[in-house]
Amino acid sequence: MEAIEKLRAKCLERGASGIRGLARVFRRLDANRSGTLDADELHRGLEEMGLALEPQEIEQICQRWDRHGDGTLDLEEFLRALRPPMSQARKDIIAAAFAKLDRSGDGVVTVGDLRGIYSGRDHPKVTAAEFLDYYSGVSASVDTDEEFVAMMTSAWQL
């Protein structure tokens, strides 16, 4: 099993929010917003989540998503790969739910969106990527596209 598959399985063992939880820790570790993590940061994030991987597995992940050849991994690409694979039907219904929330259409859901007002000072509450992180975890426990679409349609009144 590839290291990332092992990591995904460990996240999913923690329930629907496992993927989102790990993604959140990793995004926070990228304090300088470079969009990359090195092996040390990856190790620290996994430790914080209580998820152990072998040093060679951490190396493998770093190398696999190293876009710049500098030994660091591209965070968003890595997190995209970590999400359980989803059909287009599932991705579409998740995007539709996010679009309903993001009234201003700027790709982040803020308190302003939720109140139906626009404010430039709004702090982002949820990004489209975080929304996908979460629903990819939910999706993994739903067997069919029909069930998933019905669940989303009902939950978000789409």
Sites of contact with Ca ion (CB under 5 A):
102, 104, 106, 113
Which residue number has the CB closest to Ca ion? 104
Sign of CA dihedral 80, 73, 12, 124: negative
Nearer Cβ to Ca ion (17/104): 104
**Which residue(s) pair with 146 in the sheet?**
none
Judged by beta carbon, residue 102 or residue 133, the one nearer Ca ion is 102
In angstroms, what is the minimal distance from the CB of 132 to Ca ion?
Answer: 16
Minimal distance, residue 143 CB to Ca ion, in Å: 33
CB of 108 to Ca ion, least distance (A): 5
User: Distance between CA 140 and CA 151 in Å, rounded?
Assistant: 13
Structure-derived torsion over alpha carbons of residues 123, 128, 130, 136, reported in degrees to the nearest 10: 160
Q: Which is nearer to Ca ion, 118 or 146 (CB)?
A: 118
Cα 139 to Cα 31: distance, rounded to the nearest angstrom: 29
Q: How far is the CB of 116 from Ca ion (least distance, A)?
A: 11
Question: Both tokens of residue 3?
Answer: 């290291």
The residue (of 113 and 130) whose beta carbon lies closer to Ca ion is 113
